[in-house]
Amino acid sequence: MSAEQGRLLIVEDEEAFARFVTTVATGVGYAVRAVVHSHDVEFQVSDWKPTVLFLDVFMPDRDGLEMLGLLQKHAYDGQIVMMSGADSLYLNMAAASAKARGLRLAGILPKPCRKQEVEYLLQKLAGPA
């Protein structure tokens, strides 16, 4: 896959986890950017136009539901993977909200996760080579 076919934006306040996903994603051919503050998402979505967004639903400055509203406002049409290391009920609720808003929910990723899980998901989202 070329970088033009897959641009991954990671929205994650845990820098170690963001580095882990970055390493896995670049290994399967994605161009990757990571942000640790949700206020940086708006610029990245409108300017860089990521094809896939990994979204931590528990950010310190804005929760996942607020982030989904921002993505809907910007008519984000890439695929979204909701992530959380906390409450699976909230993760599932956020996933349902993404679908209800017409966003392209590609999956949920409970944390912690294994490298193979992230690789498989990213390869699946990239589509046929």
Task: Decide if 59 contacts 32 (C-beta within 8 A).
Answer: no
**How high does pLDDT run on average in the chain?**
90
- What pLDDT is attached to residue 3? 43
Bridge partner list, 63: 58
Domain with 51, as residue range(s), is: 3-122
Tokens found for residue 75: 């008519």
Is 27 inside a domain boundary? yes
Structure confidence at residue 2 (pLDDT): 46
Q: Has residue 129 been placed in a domain?
A: no
pLDDT for 128: 63
Q: Is residue 127 in a domain?
A: no
Note whether 13 and 42 are within 8 A (CB). no
Q: The domain that contains 105 carries what CATH number?
A: 3.40.50.2300
User: Which pLDDT score is estimated for 1?
Assistant: 43
**Residue 115: inside a domain, yes or no?**
yes
The one-letter amino acid code at 31 reads A
65 Cβ neighbours under 8 A, 6+ residues apart: 57, 94, 97
Percent of the chain with pLDDT over 70: 95
- Is residue 10 in a domain? yes
Q: Is residue 118 domain-resident?
A: yes
Structure tokens at 124: 């699946």
Closest to 48 measured CA to CA, from 29, 27, 66, 74: 74
What is the tally of structural domains in the chain? 1
* Chain segment 53-82, per-residue pLDDT in tens: 999 988 888 888 889 999 999 999 999 999
More confident residue, 22 or 90: 22
pTM as predicted: 0.91
> Distance between CA atoms of 43 and 125, rounded to whole angstroms?
23
Q: What is the pLDDT of residues 19-37, one digit of tens each?
A: 999 999 999 999 999 998 8
Residue 128 included in any domain: no
The one-letter code for the residue type at 117 is E
pLDDT of residue 50: 97
Structure-block tokens of residue 48: 């860089």
